Amino acid sequence: MITIDNVTVGYGTAGFIKAVDEVSLTINDNEILGIAGESGSGKSTLMRAVYGDFSTGLRIQSGSVTGRFTDARTGRSIEAPSSQFRQLWWDQISYIPQGSMSVLNPLMRIEKQVVDGLPRRERRGSRAELRGRIARFFAGFGLAENVLDAYPHQLSGGMRQRVLVAIAAFVNPRLILADEPTTALDVVVQKKILLMMVEIQRRQRNSLVLVSHDLGVHYQITDRLIVMHRGKIVEAGPTAEIFANPRHDYTRNLIASLPRLHGRRAADTLGETA
């Protein structure tokens, strides 16, 4: 779906601060891909390059990011570089950033924020019908209908983050990019939200890219994992294999620093009653 070919990404116009250094990677259809690595290793920069968000002064110095999507209405194949992805935001690619408070507009009720972001074709029908559709979708995330009438500050951090996940998934995009979506939350809420994300991915059969510095999170839910260190990919492969047999010293140390991983993977317990 996304081909990242030998890409070097950084910031600045006069000088150039390199943040991602000659990275190649494919994001496949219908998978959960994890991106791990310590703070400053280039995870968010790589995500921004994949999302095609150049608003932060980000620049692709060399190499390319190319996406291949199928237009939901016409069935036509769309192939484009990430510099053109903006037109595909929401519809095909959505982004769940960290820090729900900085993303949701504090002065706007949740319903309006959802509706305003929707592509025109999703806004067809009456307002009541659309609200009903949104409310039913939100209910799948444990969000009651009155959440739609709330302002962000009236919701807990966990609820706000669930709202962001629900908004990102509402129009069934083919690629969901989630940058540390649960980092600020306590572990119980974190696990619930991660399970929701896995459930959506399984239902929508799309691709989910999950950035987290927390290897425990990757162990719980990702199919494939890359580990970044100083802008480079130092490890890549199926998550279970990396945990069983880390090749790089850096990954070994990261795994060794984890509290003991016991029990089954959260993704494997989906559908079971607690």
Per-residue string for binding with ligand ATP, 215-234, x by CB under 6 A? Answer: --------------------
* Using rule CB under 6 A, residue 11 touches ligand ATP: yes
Long-range contacts for 18-25 (Cβ within 8 Å, ≥24 apart)? Answer: 18/61, 18/231, 19/45, 19/231, 20/45, 20/46, 20/49, 20/231, 21/230, 21/231, 21/232, 22/62, 22/63, 22/232, 23/63, 23/228, 23/231, 23/232, 23/233, 24/63, 24/233, 25/226, 25/233, 25/236
Please report, as residue ranges, which positions from 82 to 141 form the binding site for ligand ATP (by CB under 6 A). Answer: none
Q: Candidates 43-51, 65-73, 193-201, 258-266 — which segment interacts with ligand ATP by CB under 6 A?
A: 43-51
Q: Of 8, 25, 34, 43, which one interacts with ligand ATP (CB under 6 A)?
A: 43
Residue 147 vs residues 162, 168, 241: alpha-carbon distances, Å: 11, 16, 41
Query: Is residue 19 near ligand ATP by the rule CB under 6 A?
Result: yes
- Least Å from the CB of residue 240 to ligand ATP: 23
44 binds ligand ATP (CB under 6 A): yes
Quote the CA–CA distance of 46 and 4 in Å, as a whole number. 10
Contact region with ligand ATP (CB under 6 A), list: 41-49, 73-81, 124-132, 188-196: 41-49
Interacting residues with ligand ATP (CB under 6 A): 11, 17, 19, 37, 39-45, 56-57, 213
